[in-house]
């Protein structure tokens, strides 16, 4: 604010320089260019990632158009093609738990890998999101405005149950994405995030983020990470908050504005950004 007034003073200039030199400690801001993590086109020609998730130290990426699914290890970058067009033609969404990968198909949910097996028949009427958590499969039925849970039972899944409490009313129209870490976070346009725990609404609001996020493009959380990670393409940054929405840090670089999604491993201190047919990484520094 003082600089905007045009005040000329060596002490102000010296203070501004100290702040620039200490942005991380003072503001929680890290100015860091992402580094290339993996070129996905080397795994499969023409591969373009649409949906990305992570579990058990593995990153899973779905190419909807090419009907291909690949996995990459966070620590070693060891990668493989998990499934191809013969298994996942017309896949709409992706979920993973440990070493199992699941895709949402027009007639239900399939576990894919060496073979393809339908594990859950479709009972929802329209579009849906899927996630896996603690061995269970969760389905957000966007038309019915509800969340179903299918409890894992060894290699099979139990009957459909409603995860939301009877008193909880939701409106999933316009929902962009969701994540589960025990609680459920549903992302809407204009940085609206609704949180539910044990089937009931919880208090959540973004606070102390400067500048404010006009629109969160993607969100990531899981049970292995302590914090919540928000992709702000317009601001060319990844914002880190606690799981109540309080600001912790942000990573800023023009390249981040090209990212479409992200996954995070705090154990490996990596933020992985999906940019076209490549993965880029940022080192997590705020937890050190």
Q: Encoding tokens for residue 94?
A: 């992706």
Measured in whole angstroms, the distance separating CA 230 from the mean position of its chain's CA atoms is 8
- pLDDT (average), residues 216-225: 97
Confirm if 9 and 270 have CB atoms less than 8 A apart: no
The CA distance from 201 to 167, in Å, is 10
Enter the tokens of residue 6. Answer: 């045009």
Q: What is the pLDDT of residue 22?
A: 78
Q: What is the C-alpha separation between 24 and 29, in angstroms, rounded? A: 5
Buried b (16+ CB within 10 A) or exposed e, 95-131: bbbeebbbbbbeeebbbbbeeeeebbeeebeeebbbb
Whether the Cβ atoms of residue 288 and residue 81 lie closer than 8 Å to each other: no
Residue-wise burial string across 154-191, b where 16 or more C-beta atoms lie within 10 A, e elsewhere: eeebeebeebbeeebebebeebebbbbbebbbbbbeeb
| Residue 149, beta-bridge partner list | 138, 161
**Average pLDDT, integer, range 256-279:** 97
**Residues 165-209 pLDDT 10s:** 999 999 999 999 999 999 999 999 999 999 999 999 999 999 999
DSSP at 107? T
> What's the pLDDT band for 155 if we cut at 50, 70, 90?
confident
Confidence of residue 288 (pLDDT cuts 50, 70, 90): low
Of 90, 96, 92, give the one whose Cα is nearest residue 72.
Answer: 96
Rounded Cα distance between 204 and 241, Å, is 11
Task: State the virtual CA torsion across 37, 135, 186, 253 in degrees, nearest 10.
Answer: -10
- Is the pLDDT reported for residue 210 higher than 80? yes
| Token pair for 208 | 């102390």
What's the burial of 236, exposed, middle or buried (CB within 10 Å: 0-12/13-18/19+)? middle
pLDDT single digits (tens) 94-127: 999 999 999 999 999 999 998 899 999 999 988 9
- Position with higher pLDDT, 197 vs 5: 197
The answer, yes or no, to whether residue 134 has pLDDT greater than 90, is yes
pLDDT of amino acid 125: 86
As a whole number, mean pLDDT of residues 153-162 equals: 93
Residue pointed to by tokens 């705090």: 266
Strands (E), 40-135: 51-55, 58-63, 68-73, 79-83, 93-97, 100-105, 108-112, 116-121, 128-133
Q: Write out pLDDT tens, residues 30-43.
A: 998 999 999 999 99
Average pLDDT over residues 123-132: 94
As a whole number of angstroms, the distance between CA 220 and CA 185 comes to: 9
pLDDT band at 254 (very low <50, low <70, confident <90, very high): very high
In the predicted model, what is the mean pLDDT of residues 237-253? 97
User: Which ranges in 64-111 belong to alpha helices (H)?
Assistant: 85-88
Q: List the structure tokens of 84.
A: 């191809």
Residue 280 token pair = 């880029």
Instruction: Report the sign of the C-alpha dihedral through residues 206, 209, 215, 217, in that order.
Output: negative
């Amino acid at each position: 604010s003082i600089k905007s007034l045009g005040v000329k003073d060596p002490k102000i200039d010296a203070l501004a320089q100290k702040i620039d030199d200490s942005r991380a400690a003072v503001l929680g801001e890290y100015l860091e260019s992402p580094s290339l993590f993996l070129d996905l086109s080397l795994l499969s020609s023409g591969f373009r990632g649409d949906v990305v998730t992570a579990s058990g130290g593995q990153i899973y990426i779905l190419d909807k158009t090419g009907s291909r699914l690949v996995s990459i290890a966070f620590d070693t970058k060891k990668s493989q093609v998990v499934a191809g067009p013969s298994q996942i033609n017309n896949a709409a969404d992706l979920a993973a738990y440990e070493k199992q990968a699941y895709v949402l198909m027009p007639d239900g949910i399939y576990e894919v890998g060496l073979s393809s097996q339908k594990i859950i028949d479709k009972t929802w009427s329209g579009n849906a999101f899927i996630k896996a958590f603690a061995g269970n499969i969760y389905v957000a039925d966007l038309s019915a405005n509800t969340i179903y849970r299918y409890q894992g039972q060894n290699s099979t899944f139990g009957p459909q149950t409603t995860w939301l409490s009877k008193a909880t009313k939701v409106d999933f129209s316009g929902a962009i994405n969701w994540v589960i870490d025990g609680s459920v976070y549903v992302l809407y346009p204009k940085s609206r995030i609704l949180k539910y725990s044990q089937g009931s609404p919880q208090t959540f609001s973004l606070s102390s983020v400067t500048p404010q996020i006009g629109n969160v493009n993607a969100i990531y959380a899981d049970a292995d990470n302590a914090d919540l990670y928000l992709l702000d393409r317009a601001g060319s940054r990844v914002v880190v908050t606690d799981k109540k929405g309080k600001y912790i840090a942000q990573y800023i670089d023009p390249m981040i504005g090209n990212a479409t999604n992200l996954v995070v491993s705090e154990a490996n201190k990596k933020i992985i950004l999906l940019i076209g047919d490549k993965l880029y990484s940022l080192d997590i520094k705020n937890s050190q």
